[in-house]
Structure 1
Amino acid sequence: MEADNFNLEPDKKHFMSWPVIALIDFVTIISFENIFYPFQNQGLSVVVSWIFLFVSYVVPYALISSQMSLTFDNQEGGLASWVRRSTNDTLGYWTSWMYWVQSVPYIVDVSNSVIVSFSWIILGDNRLGKRMSTASFGLLTFIIILLFILLENRLKNSLEILSLIGGGAMFIMSMLFVLLAGYAIMHGHPIATQPFNLAAFKPSFSLNYFSTTGLLIFAMSGAELAAPYVSQMRNPKRDFPKAMWMLAIMTGFLTIFGTLALAMFFNAHHIPHDFKMNGPYYAFQLLGHSLGWGDTLMYIFAVVQAIFMMAQLAVLLDASSRVFAGDVADKFMPKWLTKKDKHGRPIHSYTTTAGLSLFLLLLTGTLPNINTIYNWLLNVNGIISPYKTCWVFFAFIAMRWHEERYHSDYVFIKNRKAALGVGWWCFIFTFVCATLGFIPQNVELGTHAFNHQLLLNIITVVVLFGLGFLLPWLRKREEAKQA
């Protein structure tokens, strides 16, 4: 720390540097496991997908988020505020609702990951699926969610700190895997994917290929999460775009080189069926054995994963419920849903979160095994999360359509027509990928399993998004009774 920092005046504002903001956003939106399910779905050809998305999607996404954040820099509502300020309260409500409800499948998914990480710490292998029934798995997942809701008052602040520690450790582990994989290959470890040539990277433009692209968007989206930090920067006009560039480059590095590192240890043509659930543990186990370190790296990763996922669960539960109850115009929200306890927490928002989590878990109870449950929840995130991301580009299009009404210290593409073209491209691409995500993955077309998962996908999206129509109706009924 510099010497003059010890003499800060008590009321002097503390500013955040752009590398710190980039790191906070990075560990929030992507982790090591995010490269595993695209690798299982698309094999080595996913490297081409990552490169294409990095150039045509991730960089524009990050810079669009820069302009929107600097245009609405006095708003703490993030994406919902962007839509509300660029359009109207009704669309702002729908953004808030979809932003909140898309977190519910992720909350269940993170809770599942907590169980899987502890199973590797305790068992040291992949036997969880053989030792636990789907009913027990679902019940334990729900207990974990309830436990974290009940402990929010005592654990929230400490777990936010742990999320930064765990997130930082996860980033280090991810980079360590890429670097050590390169070291192992240079010292004689054979490349598992053969043939490892240009032909192996050629995408097969099949229905499965396009239906799995939504998961890539899910893995890379979230640049808008940095918006609230704009007000905490000393020179946001100069530094915030730098943070977004750093975020995009780090994301591109992890996805592209992380996938290449996976191809060193796993045959892209014969990937384990439980790769999405257990792949990260297999990877560090194989890397440790290659380096002569045994299972040490695997256990270190399992502990880091457990800490990171528990911290992420606590922050997700608190943040999603607070935004849901507090960042919506009054005419859309029933009073009982915004009721707060003595600690200022929206208790019925937590109840609703728990209820919808239970709904998802009841649906997963119809699936045959834990691995299928894990895969299906990931696929649901690949539908719902991109639909939420569409609002980022919708807000950008609305703002640039009437750009004379707004002022921003940073402008992404000064030519209005070109900017709108990029905005429409990102919006349409995201919407199409989200819609194609309804097609079940890892199951054959026309089978009972395919039809079952397709039905579950439709029910999930209709219920989660459709409930958004219910709340304004309930609010109107409240107002009618009070009149």
Structure 2
Amino acid sequence: MAKDNSSTQKSNQKIKWYMLAFMAFSTVWGFGNVTNGFGYFHGTQVIFSWIMMFALYFVPYALMVGELGSAFKNAGGGVTSWVLETTNPKLAYYAGYTYWVVHIPYIASKGSGGLKALAWMTLKNDWYDSLPSWQVQLATGVVFLFFAWVASRGLNPLKALATAAGSSMFIMSILFILMMFAAPIINPNATYIPLDWSWDALIPKFNVEYFTSLSILVFAVGGCEKISPYVNKVENPAKNFPKGMIALAIMVMVCAILGTVALGMMFSGAEITGEAQASFIANGAYEAFQRLGEYYHVGNLFVIFYGACNAVGQFSTLVLSIDAPLRMLLDDESARQYVPKQLLKKNQYGAYTNGIKLVVVLSGSIIAIQLLGKDASDIITWLTRLNSVCMPLRYLWVFFAYIMLRKQSAKFPRDYQFVKNNKVALFFGVWCFVITATFCILGMYDSQDPMRTVLNALSPFVFILLGMIMPMIRKRQDEKAVSSK
């Protein structure tokens, strides 16, 4: 009888496939992805690109992550552990290093994003956007240094704050879609833009601008590897995990399309070009909530609340992005042996002080370079593009680990497989790897400013070079330590 109760209790602890889908959805998706797609792909034309991205990239990506998680269910290091298990410690170091270093531009963007959110929350955005770039970046630098100090004090309760802010942003994203579709019924006299469902209006122009912007969509749909620890906690993972991932893909696709349609009722995609595009990338989400408030006769209530949630989320994420990826790299035993000893120094709070100083130098350099931007909106647009080039580089290690797994398929037993046929599995692994690398490289190109193209290309190169230099420094330190004995 006790055995039956234990079995029932264990069964009750298993995650249902639809619960997994919702967990992954809140991790992967956000309203900013909708506005970025709308802004970069001229409004409703992005619908075609979203569908192609989900079908040809996101679905196989999510299912590959499921197989990796199932194969290495006891490995707690995520991508780094997968690479370690399938290859060697040196490559695992590079995987962990990549995960850390791609956060450098992301960290630089969080300060700008947080100040933008505060400006909208206080209804001072017009004043903030009118400031010269040096004043904007000076304020960003001060904010960045303050939160770097906070990270050095080991104040990690901010994780709960970031989770709460992220959850509220997620809820507001869903509410925006529902309330926008209800708006014409509640306020039929308001001004809405009629949607053009003609073929020409929906199919994008496949030009240089189109292909160099696809990194934005890759950046938007990435990150589902964060749910890999839950693969083996799902009821019947071989059947229900892919069901959950397919449900996730459908949910994300529906939200992307409906969100795009909702924005299309507010903004004309044809008018989002040039400087108007930069303004929309930086302000589009806030303007959408501001107009939604007008439709519901509540003034700026929605945009104030959205700005407050976003400000808390941006600043708390800033601290976590300084601290968490650094800990993931330096706490990992397979990576520590390739890192200069100075970076392993901890203070009384358990924070890697010299590591944080390195983050300050690298992210601070990007903040300083942004002085070349025109204004606050232009800087945020630039950082969005740079993040779309750098952040997806970590996904390359997911696909690399999957290719290595399938090359040694018999060595790693697992409850769930994306596809049974090894050749088909390898094709999808290589396909997603090539797509990610190609769009990241194409995303470096900026048709408006050749200097930004150089800087977009130079940043990943400098990051990779630094990752190659670190093991050399550590090797010399180890040799010196041995010779001195």
The reply to whether residue 267 of structure 1 matches residue 268 of structure 2 is yes
Question: What is the aligned partner in structure 2 of residue 171 from structure 1?
Answer: 170
Q: 1 CA distance for matches of 2:244 and 2:476?
A: 46
Alignment of 1:286-301 (within 5 A): 286-301=291-306
3-state DSSP of counterpart to 2:177? helix
Alignment of 1:98-247 (within 5 A): 98-130=98-130, 132-152=131-151, 153=153, 155-157=155-157, 159-186=158-185, 188=188, 189=190, 191-192=192-193, 195-230=196-231, 240-247=241-248
Q: 1 CA distance for matches of 2:365 and 2:245?
A: 36
* Maintained 8 Å contact 2:116/2:125: no
Cα offset, 1:360, TM superposition? 0.7
Q: Read off the aligned partner of 1:339 and give its amino acid letter.
A: K
3-state DSSP of counterpart to 2:351? coil
Question: What is the aligned partner in structure 1 of residue 308 from structure 2?
Answer: 303
3-state DSSP of counterpart to 1:340? coil
Q: How many residue pairs get matched? A: 467
Q: 2 CA distance for matches of 1:317 and 1:330?
A: 18
Cα offset, 1:93, TM superposition? 1.4
3-state DSSP of counterpart to 1:365? helix
The reply to whether residue 71 of structure 1 matches residue 77 of structure 2 is no
Q: 2 CA distance for matches of 1:345 and 1:234?
A: 38
Question: What is the aligned partner in structure 2 of residue 377 from structure 1?
Answer: 383
3-state DSSP of counterpart to 2:384? helix
Q: 2 CA distance for matches of 1:126 and 1:179?
A: 28
3-state DSSP of counterpart to 1:151? helix
Q: 1:36 to 1:112 in 2, by over 3 A?
A: same
Q: 1:90 to 1:239 in 2, by over 3 A?
A: same
Cα offset, 1:294, TM superposition? 1.6
Q: Read off the aligned partner of 1:324 and give its amino acid letter.
A: L
* Maintained 8 Å contact 1:45/1:200: yes
Question: What is the aligned partner in structure 2 of residue 249 from structure 1?
Answer: 250
Q: Read off the aligned partner of 1:112 and give its amino acid letter.
A: S
Q: 1 CA distance for matches of 2:435 and 2:15?
A: 33
Alignment of 1:314-325 (within 5 A): 314-325=319-330
Question: What is the aligned partner in structure 1 of residue 84 from structure 2?
Answer: 84
Question: What is the aligned partner in structure 2 of residue 284 from structure 1?
Answer: 289
Q: 2 CA distance for matches of 1:352 and 1:253?
A: 41
* Maintained 8 Å contact 1:211/1:436: yes
Q: 1 CA distance for matches of 2:150 and 2:125?
A: 30
Q: 1:342 to 1:240 in 2, by over 3 A?
A: farther
Q: 1 CA distance for matches of 2:362 and 2:120?
A: 28
* Maintained 8 Å contact 2:283/2:377: no
Q: 1 CA distance for matches of 2:235 and 2:452?
A: 49
Q: Read off the aligned partner of 1:123 and give its amino acid letter.
A: L
Question: What is the aligned partner in structure 2 of residue 51 from structure 1?
Answer: 51
Q: 2 CA distance for matches of 1:403 and 1:469?
A: 30
3-state DSSP of counterpart to 2:81? helix
Instruction: Flag structure 2 segments of 5+ consecutive residues without an equivalent.
Output: none
Q: 1 CA distance for matches of 2:335 and 2:357?
A: 21
3-state DSSP of counterpart to 2:269? coil
Q: 1:202 to 1:322 in 2, by over 3 A?
A: same
1:38-79: CA deviations, max 9, x gaps?
211112211100011111211111111100111111111101
Q: 2 CA distance for matches of 1:275 and 1:329?
A: 41
Aligned-residue CA RMSD in angstroms?
2.6
Question: What is the aligned partner in structure 1 of residue 35 from structure 2?
Answer: 36
TM-score, normalization by structure 1: 0.90
Cα offset, 1:20, TM superposition? 5.5
Q: Read off the aligned partner of 1:337 and give its amino acid letter.
A: L
Question: What is the aligned partner in structure 2 of residue 358 from structure 1?
Answer: 364
Identity %: 32
TM-score, normalization by structure 2: 0.90
Q: Read off the aligned partner of 2:221 and give its amino acid letter.
A: M
